[in-house]
């Protein structure tokens, strides 16, 4: 294990040290931040003993010197930043449990899948202390204490839902985007966070549920006419809902987005195994509610039919519970 990096005075809490959280925590610790990992005992015990190993497309790293905790009751703040990296269905619970540990001038950052996470955090700590990021790289835990970065489609995009509201908050978003990038995680500032989050939902909704149900990696899905037709329908429905939701997507139509999707985004993540597939294989709950479920719910709000997305959401719900009669 390499020697711990030189410390700086910024304290960061990774609230959910799974694959994504471990990568963010590892690179920030390597850059000298005082990082606390909150997560599962087996993973954190391995890190405490041997350090955190990160490998994959961003090189091989071994990082130590973390503080660790398996329960929020044992955390000590205040923290300059709290990075929320839990599954979307745990956002409210984890934010409520750590909100009191945020420094007076600190920020909570949602680095999560789906829609609604940033709004949930805002309702707990205030919009003036909430940032979000569109994160679109793939990572997985290979073994306790070992995170692997497999693919990246675009740099992370850090911002807020209303960049006109608070100049100090936007300056903080720019600082954190620069901090992540300097630490080795490609990142940029965005003043269009809602559009970036919606664009990721389009990408995830087309690939994650179908890939999980068929048990294949992303790149296999466009190669069959049948699965490609399902993805096209998913994107048509979701794009219509995004427009009604005022997402401000930088695409004139679903057809224009599909060109970006098939020509650039899918090839960049060709071999990635869907996170929903990994969840189903491990017997864990998926994030279908924050992705496809949000498309269906918002579609109903605007009177936009979403039958294909609704069917995929129901199939994933069945897969989570097991086939009827078993």
User: Between 118 and 326, where is the model more confident?
Assistant: 118
Asked whether the predicted pLDDT for residue 2 surpasses 60, the reply is no
Active site (catalytic) residues: 200
Spatial separation of the C-alpha atoms in residues 223 and 216, rounded to whole Å: 11
Spatial separation of the C-alpha atoms in residues 36 and 136, rounded to whole Å: 23
Check residue 173 and give its pLDDT.
Answer: 97
Check residue 111 and give its pLDDT.
Answer: 98
Asked whether the predicted pLDDT for residue 4 surpasses 90, the reply is no
Asked whether the predicted pLDDT for residue 197 surpasses 90, the reply is yes
pLDDT in tens, 148-196: 999 998 999 999 999 888 999 999 999 999 999 999 999 999 999 999 9
SS3 269: coil
* Extents of the domains making up the chain: 11-191, 195-321
Check residue 164 and give its pLDDT.
Answer: 87
Number of other residues whose CB lies within 10 A of the CB of residue 46? 16
Identify which of 66, 20, 47 has the alpha carbon closest to the alpha carbon of residue 180. 20
State the average pLDDT for the chain.
Answer: 94
Helix axes 225-244, 193-214, angle to 10 degrees: 150
Which runs of consecutive H residues, i.e. helices, occur in 66-184? 91-98, 117-125, 167-183
SS3 324: coil
- Which of 4-18, 25-39, 90-104, 223-237 has the lowest average pLDDT? 4-18
> In percent, how much of the chain has pLDDT > 90?
91
User: Which one-letter DSSP state was computed for residue 172?
Assistant: H
Beta carbons of 271 and 217 less than 8 angstroms apart: yes
pTM for this model (two decimals)? 0.91
Q: What's 195-321's CATH class? A: mainly alpha
* Burial letters 72-107, b for 16+ CB under 10 A, else e: beebeeebbbbbbbbbbeebeebbebbeebbeeebb
* Burial letters 123-135, b for 16+ CB under 10 A, else e: ebbebebbbbbbb
Question: What tokens does 48 get?
Answer: 């405490």
pLDDT in tens, 99-149: 999 999 999 999 999 999 999 999 999 999 999 999 999 899 999 999 999
pLDDT band, very low/low/confident/very high, at 326 (cuts 50, 70, 90)? low
Matching CATH number, 11-191, of 3.40.720.10, 3.40.47.10, 3.40.50.720, 3.40.50.1820: 3.40.50.720
Check residue 165 and give its pLDDT.
Answer: 84
């Amino acid at each position: 294990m390499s020697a711990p990096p030189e410390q700086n005075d910024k304290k960061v809490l990774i609230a959910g040290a799974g694959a994504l959280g471990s990568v963010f925590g590892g690179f920030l610790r390597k850059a000298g931040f005082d990082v606390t990992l909150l997560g599962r005992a087996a993973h954190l015990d391995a890190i405490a003993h041997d350090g955190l190993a990160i490998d994959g497309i961003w090189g091989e790293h071994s990082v130590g010197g973390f503080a660790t905790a398996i329960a929020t009751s044992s955390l000590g703040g205040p923290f300059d930043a709290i990075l929320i990296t839990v599954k979307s269905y745990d956002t409210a619970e984890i934010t409520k449990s750590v909100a009191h540990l945020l420094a007076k001038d600190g920020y909570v950052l949602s680095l999560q899948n789906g829609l609604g996470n940033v709004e949930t955090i805002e309702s707990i700590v205030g919009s003036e202390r909430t940032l979000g990021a569109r994160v679109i790289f793939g990572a997985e835990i290979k073994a306790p204490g070992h995170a692997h970065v497999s693919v990246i489609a675009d740099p992370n995009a850090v911002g807020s839902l209303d960049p006109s509201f608070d100049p100090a908050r936007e300056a903080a978003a720019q600082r954190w985007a620069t901090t992540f990038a300097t630490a080795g995680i490609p990142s940029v500032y965005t003043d269009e966070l809602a559009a970036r989050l919606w664009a990721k939902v389009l990408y995830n909704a087309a690939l994650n549920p179908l890939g999980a149900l068929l048990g294949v990696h992303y790149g296999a899905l466009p190669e069959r006419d049948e699965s490609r037709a399902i993805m096209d329908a998913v994107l048509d429905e979701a794009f219509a809902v995004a427009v009604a939701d005022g997402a401000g997507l930088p695409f004139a139509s679903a057809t224009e987005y599909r060109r970006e999707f098939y020509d650039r985004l899918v090839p960049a993540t060709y071999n990635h195994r869907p996170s929903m597939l990994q969840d189903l294989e491990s017997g864990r709950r998926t994030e279908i509610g924050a992705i496809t479920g949000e498309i269906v719910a918002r579609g109903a709000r605007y009177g936009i039919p979403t039958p294909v997305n609704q069917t995929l959401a129901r199939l994933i719900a069945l897969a989570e519970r097991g086939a009827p009669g078993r």
